[in-house]
Structure 1
Amino acid sequence: MSLAEVEARERRAQARGLYRALEVLRADMARRAAATMEHWDGLILRPEFVASARNLADYLALRRGDLVPFQAPLASLGLSSLGRAESHVRASIDAVLASLALIGGEGEAEYPPVEVFAAGPARLAARRDHLFGARRGNPQTRIMVTLPTAAADGPELIAQLLAAGADCLRINCAHDTPEEWAAMIGHARRLGAEMGRRVPVQIDLPGPKLRIKAVSGEEERLHVGESFEIVPALPRGKKKLRKSGRVQAVLSHPAQHAALTEGAAIWINDGRLRARVTDVSPERVICEVVSTPGKGARIRPEKGVNLPGTDLRVPALTEDDMAPLDFALRHADIIGYSFVQTGADLRALFAAIEERLPGRNPQDWPALMLKIETPLALRNLPALIVEAGGRMPVGVMIARGDLAVEIGFERLTEIQEEILWLCEAAEVPVVWATQVLEGLVKDGQASRAEMTDAAMSQRAECVMLNKGPHLAEGVEVLHDVLTRMDRHSNKKSPRLGALGLWHDF
């Protein structure tokens, strides 16, 4: 027997072994996915979301185990390593099984229809266009811009942003007034009509205020090893440092104060000041600073507060959200839902909307943007997607600022990848948000790391820029980066266009 014949026999044996192992994997996936779909029964009221939920169930079942042992052997046979199966999970496995059957000589192969592989990406692209606006040409990733107060003064700023490449606009109801929101939207609608395009507007509900409410000694810089106090309230008129020598601060939400137990972490201002609780009493909670910038950090009112490692069971919908919700239901294309964590949060919002729009089909409601900011929201993300998407158009925003603080900066890189994969499987558009090109937007110059981050954002359906004095320039640069990246990748898949730099090598 020749060497070639021996190698061919080994290849057939390898293919048969892989076929049997992958067949077992597929059967287990199908069984688990069916149980998941049964659990979700009753949540999916939109027929068009059934296929998306089923593919998500397949993906969750498939990714329960480690696929790494399959990948190199499949690739050595010239087959898919299942590394880009998100949008067509079951069809990808069936196609690999069919090819393994042919290579292994185990009968005729039954391949899934080619159309199956295009259906999921087509649904995702249509949902992207519905949420963020359609566009002719590149980039495929849309650009969302958070509007500053100045956008209410006249149409000029919004016109600059749209001309630079913005596709949709965001209004944060934690800032400005209803009159200013209405003016911004009026400018956007008129400009969109003049340009012959739809400019969607997302209106974010403020959500629970998890911030510093008041401080005594706010001008004091705190350094590592020093302590400050969290107190229920400041004595009347006490804004300066008290006799104890410690800065005192009041938190805006009682649930946060109640969650401060000995050893707990507390981060202020996106983690610029990090501390741990060393002593708890009814009168005060003493916190020792464990990390600050070299020059120290101040505690100031309105700065955000996070308790990493603590699940705060705080309702996402508050009384203060009701007036912005009334406004959003009249004007928004998308409602941004801050601090959503559980199905109960979704049902509270659905009930509030139904009360305000009695008898209206949820298909006619604004779309819903789930802002993923906490570990609890992250754990519940599949269920949140299905319950929301089963009722109304839905998207997911990776709120990377709060999320990084809550789960740890070092974990954010992998978690944002996993959110992208999960949402692609669910055929749900994703917004890549927080600090994109922040140096450019705020100071007029981007760092190298920010440019790389902007390039990575191309795998999401939309990228959000926050406000700053150089916002229009930021939009223009981001538009250029996304357009360039479209030549090279689509989601996780590299595009193998010609390498222009070395075409004559």
Structure 2
Amino acid sequence: MLDKKLIKQTLQEIKLLREELFHARSKLSDNETHFKSLLNLEHYMILRSKDRTELQEKLFLLSLSSLGRSYAHVAASIDTLYDQLSCWADKKSISKKKMKSFLHISISESITESSKNAAALFGGDVAAKLSKQKTAVMVTLPSHATENDGALIKELASEGVQVLRINTAHDDLSVWKKMAAVVEKINQRRKIEEKIRIFVDLAGPKIRTGAIQRLSLPVKIGSNKHQSEVLLSTTQSTMPQSRDPFTLEKIPAKIKIDEELFSELELGKTVTLYGVDGKKARIKIIDVRSDYVKGSIEKKIYIDEDSHLKYKIYESSVKDIVKQMESIRLYTGDTLVLTERDILGRSAEVETSGEVITPAIISCSFKDLSSMVQVGDPIFIDDGKIRLKVVKVVDNDIVCEVQNTKIKGVVLKEEKGINFPETFIKTAAITEHDKGLIDGILEFVDLLGISFCQSAKDVEELQNILTLKGCTDIGIVPKIETKQAVTQMPEILRQLLQWQSSGVMIARGDLAIEVGFANLASIQEKLLDICDAAHIPVIWATQVLEGQMKNNLPSRAEVTDAAMGGRAECVMLNKGMFAAETITILRHILHEMHQSFKKNRQLLSKETMWH
């Protein structure tokens, strides 16, 4: 039997909430670009402006919706509850006419609006999205994407990728145009709704570590754990083994030798390499080409300008050893100076007694930081691998103490991001460099990303730029990766709703550092919710299936993370050797999740697991 007292109390609370929602409508103009979405956003803000948990508990006890899934259609949900409770309280229910005039966006309309916005941004058929949620897949293009007549791009297209991302922090306009040309050729054979979209990520004011000085150091060749490849040539400089920054493939060490010795090398023969401290290692020739010879070295050895090779009666010194970046290894308690001065980074100068004469120092790419930071502010470098605390500021130098490192320390590297989670960095998200690129990018871009967007003004600036250029059909996607952006989300969304097509990227790499790793889970949930309220599609980004992408083996945590990405309208993958395999796995994960969930609603399909 229904509890009349509980019904009466609950009805009164719903009535007061309904009145608040009604007054929100009078503050908006019907002429707004996305009026219904804007109104629902305001309703969501009212719903979340107070603690509603007691009201939710009452609704639950009455077997009614507790509003936890009402974000995309707040007023419609409140009106439905009001009507039901009114009937139970023996009062006349609201008329259909009054309900229609008040709602302005029904539950079905909210779903249609969200699907329409997602289709406009990422492509696809609106009707198909209405019948069944389908999360789009975006993949970042590496520098070599146009090699072999764009074979990689064609493979990604065949795997069903809907969006390809170009990061303007790498390469240049000529490379991006070549990428776009391959995509355009593919799109010529597709229907409009099936065309691949191009997302261009403006680099923005990324603060990075500067260059580190190079030193003449011995070069390590080979390994004591396994046989390693080494290339011998007369043209390439001598350098250690490295990895391709995009594919992570190993690049063999190289040794430059005399032409006379090079011309005598034969397949299957052995060359002796003499290294530092009189040590030597044998290199067995496994491949002979016109421009290089590939060998297999048996163990680890260090070589310098005094090292040489012997083969039969021939001998050659090791030539042209490249200078290597100085290793700046930091430990907890060390001092590191971040400077605005244009100098090369270097490690600390230490006396034999262990006393530090001058601390380690490195420049940063952003000026005027010294006027913005305060003593005690935390600073993070390289995705949080190095944590610092500001000790003092001297002119253009920020003197920091290293807070946390591994027992063996951590190596400071060039071009690594620097985050200031407790410092408000006063800078526009769209830099002069970005503005200079926009004209060339407009030839092929479908979506423009605003890196380090902090406020609605950053969105408005790009809107103004595109309006002046007559490009109002280009989608705008602010990347949410700072603490300021999180606090300004309502204003950012309101500004986006003034534009024809827009979305939001939750860029969780920098965001995790800005808000704290322990807070990321709850904050990304809140961002999903408020975007749902505004009917604005979301891109789920950063390190999705990273292990699978680079090593062809995902971790269990990565699979769970990818599954949560199904709540977004698009999931972004980064670069990696195993892109095709990763896309297949991601699409399978998303398909399985969409059998049980649509956005944040659980679907009660027939369960066959236990039958």
Q: Does the pair score TM above 0.5? A: yes
Matched, 1:119 2:109: yes
Aligned with 1:19 (options 1, 11, 27): 11
Is 1:57 aligned to residue 65 of structure 2? no
Aligned to 1:496: 604
2:189 matched to 1:199?
no
DSSP-derived class of the 2:376 partner? coil
CA distance in 2, matches of 1:69, 1:475: 43
Say whether the 8 Å CA contact 1:99–1:109 is kept in structure 2.
Answer: no
Taking structure 2 as the reference length, the TM-score comes to 0.75
User: In the alignment, what sits opposite 2:464?
Assistant: 351
Greater relative CO (CA pairs within 8 A, separation 6+): 1
Distance 1:152 1:294, change over 3 A: farther
Correspondence 1:482 to 2:479:
no
Q: Give the corresponding residue for 2:315.
A: none
Query: Offset of 1:168 from its aligned partner?
Result: 1.0
Find the residue that maps to 2:337 and give its secondary structure. Answer: strand
2:524 to 394, 401, 416: 416
1:254 Cα deviation (Å)? Answer: 1.1
CA distance in 1, matches of 2:376, 2:203: 30
Q: In the aligned structure 2, how far is the partner of 1:222 from the partner of 1:124?
A: 48
Task: Please list the CA deviations of residues 116-155 of structure 1 after superposition, one character each: whole Å capped at 9, or x if unmatched.
Answer: 2100111111111111110668761111111111212223
**SS class of match (1:221):** strand
Q: Which amino acid aligns with 2:18?
A: R
Please give the alpha-carbon distance, in whole angstroms, between the structure 2 residues aligned to 1:238 and 1:121. Answer: 54
| Partner of residue 179 from structure 1, selected from 174, 181, 185 | 174
- Is 1:273 paired with 2:386? yes
Residue 370 of structure 1 deviates from its aligned partner by 1.0
- What is the CA–CA distance in structure 2 between the aligned matches of 1:97 and 1:90, rounded to whole Å? 10
Do structure 1's residue 390 and structure 2's residue 498 form an aligned pair? yes
Matched, 1:102 2:87: yes
Partner of 2:51: 66
CA deviation after TM superposition for structure 1 residue 241, in Å: 4.5
SS in structure 2 of the partner of residue 330 of structure 1 = coil
Provide TM-score, normalisation by structure 1.
0.90
Aligned residues between the structures: 482
Residue 283 of structure 1 deviates from its aligned partner by 5.5
CA distance in 1, matches of 2:410, 2:18: 54
The equivalent of 2:64 in structure 1 is 79
| Cα distance in structure 2, aligned partners of 1:77 and 1:354 | 51
Secondary structure of the residue aligned to 1:323 is helix
**Kindly tell me: are residues 441 and 256 of structure 1, through their superposed partners in 2, closer, same or farther at Cα, counting changes over 3 Å?**
farther
Distance 1:294 1:158, change over 3 A: farther
Shift of 1:209: 2.9
The answer to whether the 8 Å contact 1:267/1:307 transfers is yes
Could you tell me how far 1:162 is from its partner in structure 2?
A: 2.1
Q: Note if contact 2:133-2:598 (Cα within 8 Å) is conserved in structure 1.
A: no
Alignment of 1:298-447 (within 5 A): 298-355=411-468, 357=469, 360=470, 364-447=472-555
Kept after mapping to 1: 8 A contact 2:205/2:430: yes
Query: How far does residue 245 in structure 1 lie from its aligned partner after superposition?
Result: 4.5
Distance 2:347 2:454 in 1: 37
SS at match of 1:335: strand
Rounded to whole Å, the distance in 2 between the matches of 1:66 and 1:481 is 35
The separation in 1 between residues aligned to 2:597 and 2:432, in whole angstroms, is 44
RMSD over aligned Cα, in angstroms?
2.2
Cα deviation digits, residues 144-182 of structure 1 (max 9, x gap): 111111212223211221222311111011111211111
Q: Deviations over 1:249-274 (max 9, x none)?
A: 11110143332321111100010100
Code of the aligned partner of 1:148: P
Does the 8 Å CA contact 1:311/1:375 hold for their aligned counterparts?
no
Cα offsets for 1:358-387 (capped at 9, x unmatched): xx3x6x431101111111111111111221
CA 1:397–1:249 in 2, change beyond 3 Å: closer, same or farther? Answer: same
Take 1:226 and 1:334, find their aligned partners in 2: how far apart are those partners?
Answer: 44
- Whose helix fraction is larger, Structure 1's or Structure 2's? 1
C-alpha separation between the residues in 2 aligned to 1:264 and 1:450?
32
Q: Are the equivalent residues in 1 in contact too, given 2:370–2:393 (CA < 8 A)?
A: no
Question: Match of 1:55, as an amino acid?
Answer: N
Name the structure 2 match of 1:168: 163
Q: Higher strand proportion, which one? A: 2
Q: Cα–Cα, structure 1 residues 352 and 109, in superposed 2: closer, same or farther, change >3 Å?
A: closer
> How do 1:13-52 residues align onto structure 2 when only pairs under 5 Å count?
13-31=5-23, 33-34=24-25, 37-38=27-28, 47=33, 49-52=34-37
- Indicate the residue corresponding to 1:129 in structure 2: 119
Structure 1 runs (4+) deviating above 6 angstroms are: none
The secondary structure found in structure 2 opposite 1:213 is: coil
Instruction: Verify the 8 A CA contact 2:141 2:575 in the aligned structure 1.
Output: yes
Give the equivalent residue in structure 1 for 2:341: 233
Deviation at residue 104 of structure 1 after TM alignment: 2.0
Which residue among 285, 288, 291 is the counterpart of 2:404?
291
1:321 counterpart SS class: helix
Provide the rounded CA distance (Å) in 2 between the counterparts of 1:258 and 1:290. Answer: 22
Change (3 A) 1:283 1:60: closer
Residue 145 of structure 1: which of 119, 139, 145 is its match? 139
Q: 1:472 to 1:82 in 2, by over 3 A?
A: same
Q: Which one is further off, 460-469 or 149-158?
A: 149-158
Can you give the 5+ residue segments of structure 2 that lack an aligned partner in the other structure?
214-324, 351-356
Deviation at 1:348, TM superposition (A): 2.7
Q: Is the 8 A contact 1:210 1:253 kept in 2?
A: yes
> 2:205 — aligned with what?
208
1:486 and 1:297 map into 2 onto residues whose CA distance is 41
Task: Look up the equivalent residue of 2:39 and give its one-letter code.
Answer: R
SS in 1 for 2:46: helix
Secondary structure of the residue aligned to 1:331 is coil
What letter matches 2:584 in structure 1?
Answer: E
Q: 2:184 aligns with which of 158, 180, 189?
A: 189
Find the aligned partners of 1:377 and 1:283 in 2 and give their Cα distance: 27
Determine which of 356, 360, 368 is the counterpart of 1:247. Answer: 360
